[in-house]
A and B are shown apart, each in its own frame.
Chain A
Amino acid sequence: MLTVQVSLFAQVRLAMGQSDIEVTLPEGATVDDLSSHLREHFPKIAPYLSSCRVAVGVEYASPSTALADGDDIALIPPVQGG
């Protein structure tokens, strides 16, 4: 098993009422697996997942990106800087 920290921002953070969650997944899990887990276990996050990108560390990740134990993940809603 691997455990990752998922940071939440903007509307996702407000919907959850907290700024991070911890998720445990099977070894070999990918970003896509994480999204499926969040959709199933965190109904307050689920409505936002389709519009969010996922970052591992400071880089955007693809659905096929493999996760490692201890990764810092961020759910990135559509950004609004400027």
Chain B
Amino acid sequence: METLAILTELQIEEILRQLPEPWTGQPDDPSTLSGRIGAWLDFYGIVRDLEGPENATIDAIEYEAHPKMAQYQLDRLLQEVGQEHGVEAFLVIHRTGVVPVGEASLLVRVCSKHRGSALDACADFINALKRDVPIWKHPRFV
């Protein structure tokens, strides 16, 4: 299984262009995994314009992290969840710093033999991320 966890303040698209193989391909061209996978799933978490119990309007969220521990926990969860579901390749990018409304703060990419395992692995990974990875939100209210 190939795994890659990235915690970054850079734009996701900039990072994707810099990723080592097999991640330099476009999502609809999984050529380096050809023949091994039947499911390629990308999940983007997007910053919405409403936040908190009162649905107050925001223009961005600033993400704070414990960088070293967050990286370790992301790596650990990729391994654990990936092995549990038989994932072929697993990628996560979580941005830190200021992420404006409408932009992605999170990308989870799962490649597996079948759709069921990709969908389950993605859901389990995000649930675990929201439980264990030391990242916090600071909404910027308008």
Contact = CB atoms under 8 A, between A and B. Distances in A.
Interface of A: 7, 9-10, 55, 57-60, 74, 76-77, 79-82
Contacts of B94: 81-82
Contacts of B126: 82
A77 B66 contact: no
Interface in B93-142: 94, 105-106, 126, 129-138
A79 B135 contact: yes
For this complex, into which size category does the number of interface residues on chain B fall? Answer: 20 to 34
Contacts of B73: 58
B133 A9 contact: no
Interface of B: 45, 63-66, 68-70, 72-73, 94, 105-106, 126, 129-138
A59 B71 CA distance: 11
- Pairs A-B, 7 closest by C-beta atoms: A81-B135, A10-B136, A58-B72, A58-B69, A80-B137, A81-B133, A80-B136
Given A10-B64, A58-B72, A82 B105 contact: yes
B29 to A, nearest CB: 27
